[in-house]
Amino acid sequence: MFAARIFLAIVGAAYLFLGIWCAAAPAQTSKSVGFNLEPGSGESEFFTVYGGLEFAWGLIFLMPLVMTDATRPLLIACVLIHGMAVIFRAISFFLFTGMGTTTYALAGVEWTIFLASAAILAYISTSATTD
């Protein structure tokens, strides 16, 4: 379980960083993923969803550092969140053209987090049943 907590903490720290980056430099970060921010509503939406939501995910994934009982449920959440990101991203590759380098890099990170969290979850689930 210690490895799972460390893994989730790394994911959490990455999301804290991304949330802060999106909130602090929305024009730069939105442009890197192909968003055109409309003044007012578009800026507010990006600031809230990309800044606030990613920051919240960071805090959530850091929770096992102080609440060890939350490790397995949050690992499940990590698998679900990144599994859906992988599925929706794959569908988007068939629906849309003109993907930028950042989009492919994000897809790679999503796959990495999904596969790693699924493997850790499978390991702790099988080790729990053999104890």
pLDDT digits (tens, 9 = 90+) for 14-52: 999 999 999 999 999 999 888 889 999 999 999 999 999
Distance CA 80, CA 65 (A): 20
Conformational region of residue 39, where left means phi above 0, alpha means psi within -120 to 50, and beta covers everything else: beta
Average the pLDDT over 106-121 and give the result: 97
Q: Find the length of the chain.
A: 131
- Tens of pLDDT, residues 46-100: 999 999 999 999 999 999 999 999 999 999 999 999 999 999 999 999 999 999 9
- What's the token pair of residue 64? 């096992």
| Coil, strand or helix at 25 | coil
